[in-house]
Amino acid sequence: MITEEQALTRILERVEPLPRRLVPLLQAREQFAAADVFARVALPRFDNSAMDGYAVVAAACTGGRRQRLVGEQPAGLDRRLRIEPGETVRLFTGAPIPAGADAVVMQEDVRCEGSDVFVNTNVEAGEFIRRAGCDLSEGQKIVEAGTRLGPQMLALLASQGFAEIETGSEVRAAIVSTGDELVAPGGTLGPGQIFDSNSALLRALVEKCGASVEDVRHCPDDVLSIERAFRDGLGCDVLIILGGVSVGARDLVKPALNAVGAQTDLWRVLVKPGKPFLFGRAGSCSIFGLPGNPVSAFVTFLLFVRPALLRLMGARSDQVSLRRTTAILGGEVNNEGDRPHYVRGELVDGKFRAIGRQESHALYGLSRANALLRVPPGERFRAGEMVPVIPID
Ligand code: AMP
Ligand code: MG
């Protein structure tokens, strides 16, 4: 059996970013920028007022001197006004600063009598003026190739007038769950049956990565129907199979993959939960077989499928690993087994404690967990120790 590191290395060797594309800005959310982007517009674009107030010459305002109101400058157009010392222009937030002015006085700090404006405060040159280019200069690099485009990045690109942006490819996934015992939520359970929870889990996980789910299908443990579902799924970039990858007589995924001409690159990894994990390829489709127990499916998705999805979407190899942080351990955790164990737990205020049952079927504990602790084989972590943890929310 191979280690997690060997498995991930082998998977990442076989997946390459898909071709880049130009997409409308909002479709780029959570995608990876395909190229560096440079500012086309300085921010701010022109000197403008940070306040509703009055443009003045600071040196002419000492001792509450009277200013003569000579105009009004709203935001959104430039009236190209000019003032001399002792004159003032009414301004609104974001309005261009009239020529000759070197400060803005907040409207709360003046008293108006007709066209006389009395300044009730000390005024320093530069006050409440947002200078052109102080935030960002034209030509400056604003996005590095490979950057994940979150809401703030999209806002920055919008501020530069970009309606479209080049990103990595959309990655399309098909999900096939297998098992005679499974009934879709909303259906009626017969004796010995359970609801299919993994399809919902995997759809949500894939979409959270920023990939799109084209099809979710359930097959009974029948090799022909599984083969049919695989043939359809292989039209996607990624096929995710749930259950049926172990060594039982009802585990039909491997024979069905053989029958559709897929190649299995690796099967069984030294990890708990998730040992029966499988990775293979057919043409340009990457195939992931996840064990049916919900926690095994979750852990193997995070360890192996997520990095591959991100890589296909155009992430650099250094961006695909899970974020790690350290925490103080709330209670002793040990691993007497021969595989690294991913313990589910709760990370609150820098403290991690295991939560719920730690068997691979225990979905309730998983549903409340927000972090994983990897416990190497034979390791005993004591309460109060600093341990590396993996936030998962
Ligand atoms: P398998 O990997 O098919 O041997 O399944 C292992 C365990 O996971 C069994 O107890 C299955 O009933 C359960 N299981 C398999 N698929 C699902 C699913 N889609 N949703 C919930 N439980 C599942
Ligand atoms: Mg099964």
CATH class for domain 2-17+169-319? Answer: alpha beta
The CATH class that applies to domain 48-130 reads mainly beta
- Give the mean pLDDT of 369-381: 98
Mutate to test the pocket of ligand 1, among 182, 189, 290, 363 (most ligand atoms within 8 A of CB): 182
What three-state secondary structure class fits 380? strand
- Report the DSSP beta bridge partners of residue 340: none
- Write out the two tokens for 142: 């604003």
CATH of 25-41+137-167, one of 3.40.50.360, 3.90.105.10, 3.40.50.1110, 3.40.50.1100: 3.90.105.10
| Fold of the 325-391 domain | Beta-clip (2.40.340)
> Ligand 1: which atom is nearest the Cα of residue 276?
2
Of 198, 293, 360, the one to substitute when testing ligand 1's pocket (max ligand atoms within 8 A of C-beta) is 293
For the residues 374-381, what does the mean pLDDT come to? 98
- Beta carbon of 244 within 6 Å of any ligand 1 atom: yes
Whether ligand 1 lies within 6 angstroms of the CB of 167 is answered as no
Domain boundaries, the chain: 2-17+169-319, 25-41+137-167, 48-130, 325-391
CB 29 within 8 A of CB 150: yes
Contact 295, 197 (CB under 8 A): no
Residue 65 pLDDT > 90: no
What pLDDT shows up at residue 283?
Answer: 97
Cα 214 from Cα 349, distance rounded (Å) = 39
Q: Is the CB of 181 under 6 A from ligand 1?
A: yes
What share of the chain has pLDDT > 70, as a percent? 100
Tens of pLDDT, residue by residue over 94-133, are 999 999 999 999 999 999 999 999 999 999 999 999 999 9
The CB of 345 under 6 Å from ligand 1? The reply is no
Give pLDDT tens digits for 181-203: 999 999 999 999 999 999 999 99
Q: Is 289 in the pocket of ligand 1 (CB under 6 A)?
A: no
Q: Check if the beta carbon of residue 25 is closer than 8 Å to that of residue 149.
A: no
Pairing of strands 351-354, 21-24: unpaired
Between CA 361 and CA 263 the distance in angstroms is 29
Confidence of residue 81 (pLDDT cuts 50, 70, 90): very high
CB within 8 Å of 166: residues ≥ 6 apart: 20, 21, 22, 23, 33, 34, 35
